[in-house]
Amino acid sequence: MWYPAHVSPREYGQPRRGGFKLLPLLLFGAYLAYYYFSNQQTVPLTGRKQLVDISRDQEAALGYQSYQQVLRQEQVLRSGREVDLVKSIGARLAKVAEDPGFQWEFNVIQSDQVNAFCLPGGKVAVYTGILPVAKNENGLAAVMGHEIAHAIARHGAERMAYQKLVQLGTLAAGVAFSDLEPAQQRMVMGALGVGAQFGVLLPFSREHESEADYMGIIYAARACFDPSEAPRLWERMGQAGGGRNPAEWQSTHPSHETRIRQLNEWMPEALEARKKTCGQ
């Protein structure tokens, strides 16, 4: 449509494109600061400050609900050597972890999956597919210690809080750039989404994995397992994966090489913890 040179499109009721609204980002920044500093928690053992905005009871309820759903859908082993081993290792690890009042439960699931998990509230499941990779009780203690550490450190609740912030930030950015041409707006929002994924969420997830590795090896050592099996475990995990893992910067997990290096760096501390607790 043609407009007289002295009249702007806005006067004809047409929106002017190309503008940038600063106010939504300022409001989001103010809310971010308030939200962040009013929901601070401390991770046991490492002392890292974290952002968590739900209570332990809420988190445990979510964990219990998810755990029951998994158990209903999977083939749970009720007895046998594998079940006895997992429950024995779990009891020893739970005894030395910073237990925040968890109602511990350990189950073995018949599956080829090379996997294990611990949900909030102390709900642990070990898939039989990981047992050959763990190889022995020390390797399995490293696996279970790592998973238990995720729950103790409240990593799931922390991820939920950061995902909420990313969603709010995306919404604020959408409002701030709403006057751009549609193609420009899609380009800007796409770039912000990629930046949030690779610059915030993935590095954050890798930090959680490393923290769980550290806490897990200390728990295993305190429970009188041999922590030196942990690096060997990750060597076997690398072999089991066939070397098909993505580049570390694209992944939610550190590379096997990074994990092995970090575990070896923490090994003197873990061996000292074992000696202090177990006298060996």
User: Which positions are annotated as active-site residues?
Assistant: 147
Helices marked H in the chain: 23-38, 56-73, 81-96, 131-134, 137-152, 155-176, 182-196, 202-222, 229-241, 256-278
Contact indicator for 267, 221 with CB cutoff of 8 Å: no
> What distance in Å separates the CA atoms of residue 175 and residue 208, rounded to the nearest whole number?
32
CA 275 to chain centre: 30
d(CA 239, CA 170): 39
On whether the CB atoms of residues 36 and 24 are closer than 8 A, the answer is no
